[in-house]
Amino acid sequence: MLRAMKPVIGINGDVRADGDLYVRLKMRYVDAVRRAGGVPVVLPAGDPEDALAILDRLDGVVLSGGGDIDLRHRGIELHPAVDLMHPRRQSFDAALLRGLAQRGLPTLGICLGMQMMAFEAGGKIHQHLPDAGYAGILDHRAEHDVVVEPDSKLAKILGTTRTRVVSHHHQGVAAVSDHFRIVAKSDDGVIEAFESADARFVIGVQWHPERDPESPQTARLFAALVEAARGRR
């Protein structure tokens, strides 16, 4: 009997410059996909024109964390605290997101990945949360609680409406387009998750589930992505 083929999940790599350019991805992302039953494939930041051809070979995508978004493309002056991602990564990730919007592949955006999902769909970004005007702002570079909307796809996946998350970011999503529905916030009001407004599996989370592999919520989130990807085969 032939074994059912595992869904192939692409994970975009980060780009770093140290003399030569190189692609980097923490193995936590790879291991999370593998434990969930998927086959992880690392995506280098190649030619943006190749993004569609790459997506044609995948069943789902994880958009990983990384540096900060360059908002100057929209005429916005950069905050002094910004630490930009490499421009090659930003252009490639933007092309990936355009292709994902066309193809409707199951997608999980994590931290920067979530922010890029929002930004490329017409949303707005807080460049530095401590200066964003939130009262009683939490330390978003540390663990904290997240409250999830009870009628959301995310709550159904996680099996809870309140969960402790591992977080490490200073930027955040300020607003989303009509393509998404905000489904989770931290106690200070910062947006922590959104999901597609339709039935597709397209979810962005501001925290880092891959950094908490023992959490049942982490296992459920990656398992849901892989299951949605398997459904496309």
pLDDT tens string 121-170: 999 999 999 999 999 999 999 999 999 999 999 999 999 999 999 999 99
**Main-chain dihedrals φ then ψ at residue 200, nearest 5 degrees:** -70, 155
Query: Would you state the structure tokens that stand for residue 201, as one six-digit string?
Result: 């599996």
Asked whether residue 2 carries a pLDDT value surpassing 80, the answer given is no
Cα–Cα dist 187/138, whole Å: 8
123, part of any domain: yes
CATH of the domain at 186: 3.40.50.880
Catalytic residues: 111, 208, 210
Confidence at 4, pLDDT banded by 50, 70, 90: low
Domain extent at residue 77:
8-230
H-type helices in 22-86, by residue range?
Answer: 27-35, 51-55
pTM: 0.96
Q: Give domain status of residue 1, yes or no.
A: no
User: Is 172 contained in some domain?
Assistant: yes
Q: For the chain, what's the residue count?
A: 233
Confidence category of residue 214, pLDDT binned at 50, 70, 90: very high
Taking residue 17's Cβ as centre, other Cβ atoms within 10 Å add up to 9
The answer to whether residue 98 is domain-embedded is: yes
Considering its fold, how many domains does the chain have in total? 1
**pLDDT given at position 162:** 98
pLDDT of residue 233: 65
Cβ-contact 99, 51 below 8 angstroms: yes
Domain for residue 83, yes or no? yes
Asked if the model's pLDDT at residue 120 lies above 50, the reply is yes
193, part of any domain: yes
Residue 29 lies in a domain: yes
